[in-house]
Structure 1
Amino acid sequence: MSTERSDLATALGKTALLSSLSSAELQTLATRTVRKLFSAGELLFSEGEPCNGLHIVARGKVRIFKTSVNGREQVLAVNVPGESIAELPVFDGGPFPASASAIEDTEIAFISRRDFNAYCMEHPEVPLKVLTVVGARLRRLVGIIEELSFTTVRQRLISTLIKLAESEGRKTERGIEFELPATHQELASQLGTVRELISRNLMRLQAEGLLEVDARNIVVKDLKGLIALLDTTP
């Protein structure tokens, strides 16, 4: 077996959908798998296009997003290595419900819709795992809808800053320091707003003495105060 096929088999085995398959089964599936390379910012597919197969992230990151008629984007998810993309249209034959683009240089393990459906017929445990993954995605989308419907931009931003401070922050003399994982524009797309409102709210939190902001570098001066704002922010 070639090195390329071995690498693809390894990538497939790290995917939740295919984790129950044996090494031999993964190697067989790898012979039906195509390696696709995408540069940062390049589209994997666009919303409304016919679904031609299953995309699995082998390396890099992929953003899934919807675009409004006026060009505003809402990021639905960021997929990392080991995650599959847009499983549902592979089964129902419908078009892609959203667009996908590479955040950085990305490698995709691609299985055609025909080959993946045939493999599911041979391995009935795989579509059961698809249901589990799709169910988790549905719960996440419901959470996004709830946030967009019932919280303000300020609340969503504060919630994101708290999560980043707790998961990525490092304690320094100045406070809890971390770097935003995306630009203000990308953060706005994730939080369902525009870049200007993200920048304005960051400056407001800095004026209130809760943060220090230097481009993407954030220092949380008062984490307890930030948490308290979640219940009081209009």
Structure 2
Amino acid sequence: MDASRTRIEDAMDDHAFFGGLSPDDRDALIDLVDVRTAPSDTVLFQHGDPCRGFYLLLEGAVHIYRLSPEGRMLVLHVIRPGESFAEVPLFEEGENPTYPATAETLSESTLLFFPAGAFLSFVDEHPRSALHMLGQLAGRLRGAVQQLDALSLHDVQERLARHLIEQAPSSSNLPDLPPTVDLDVPKSVLAAELGTVPETLSRAFRALEEQDLIRRGNSQIALTNVQGLRRLARDS
């Protein structure tokens, strides 16, 4: 897999974290980028490793997780194309910031890597851009709080409905057909992301299908009743 400069520009333009950059600032940042490819099951960094930089995913999937003392995996987030991760340690005070979790690819992936030293030099030279980036990180923190609320206050069907709505495309080239969501990660990973186990997740899928809210295929979920899913997610 390869990434042209145009593709990198498009990925950054579409990402809210970089949305406040002028074209010149964006080009200066692109010059710092290292394009990396990684096969499935590659550990990009581990919890506690020194922070060397952050990533923007172009292709593939990455899960961010912590391990309990008993070895149980807690999936904090599944990164999908167009999302960035591991920026927060760069803005921490103190020397030698570390990654707060482990990142591992779930499939062959193409990533943009922004080295810490070069990126922080860019921030020093472009303070207005840094303020925009910090604002985006604050918004992401609010999203993490909402995710914790969902895990603690809502049942698995409600969490699954919310997840499907969030992953559904905002528009379709075939408006007469129901929107579809790709099952782009293993069921065990999706279950962990939703704070449950695969068996319970399977029952939740079956319950939504029995309510005529979704239709399952081999690797896709058709959202046959989007409003019903929204009500389930909103009323939860």
TM-score when scaled to structure 2?
Answer: 0.73
Q: Output the CA distance in 1 between the equivalents of 2:217 and 2:4.
A: 45
Residue equivalent to 1:72 = 73
What does residue 190 of structure 2 align with? Answer: 187
2:128 corresponds to which residue? 125
Q: 2:202 aligns with which of 177, 199, 203?
A: 199
How many pairs does the alignment contain?
Answer: 224
Q: Distance in 2 between matches of 1:28 and 1:164?
A: 32
Deviation per CA, 1:8-42, whole angstroms, max 9, x where unpaired? 9736853533752443x555444443222222332
Aligned runs of 1:67-106 on 2, under 5 Å? 67-69=66-68, 70-81=71-82, 83-92=83-92, 93-106=96-109
Amino acid at match of 1:74: V
The Cα offsets for residues 53-75 of structure 1, whole Å up to 9 and x where unpaired, read as: 23233x21443422332333324
Partner of 1:33: 33
Question: How far apart in 2 are the matches of 1:214 and 1:13?
Answer: 32
C-alpha displacement at 1:43, in angstroms? 2.5
Letter in structure 2 aligned against 1:102: T
Q: Which moved more, 1:9-18 or 1:130-139?
A: 9-18
Runs of 5+ consecutive residues of structure 1 not aligned to the other structure: none
Cα distance in 1 between the residues matched to 2:167 and 2:7 = 33
Q: Which deviations, in whole Å up to 9, do the C-alpha atoms of 1:61-95 show, x marking residues without a partner? A: 443422332333324252433x4322121132421
Q: Partners in 2 of 1:80 and 1:98 — Cα distance?
A: 19
Confirm or deny: 8 A CA contact 2:213 2:223 kept in the other structure.
yes
Q: Is the 8 A contact 1:13 1:19 kept in 2?
A: no
Amino acid of the structure 1 residue aligned with 2:196: T
User: Which of these two proteins has the greater Rg computed from alpha carbons?
Assistant: 1
Distance in 1, Cα, partners of 2:22 & 2:202: 47
Gap runs ≥5 in structure 2: none
The amino acid across from 1:186 in the alignment is V
Identity %, equivalent residues: 23
Residue number in structure 1 paired with 2:180: 178
The answer for the alignment partner of 1:47 in structure 2 is 47
TM-score, L = length of structure 1: 0.74
Amino acid at match of 1:71: R
| C-alpha contact 1:177 1:217 (8 A) present in aligned 2 | no
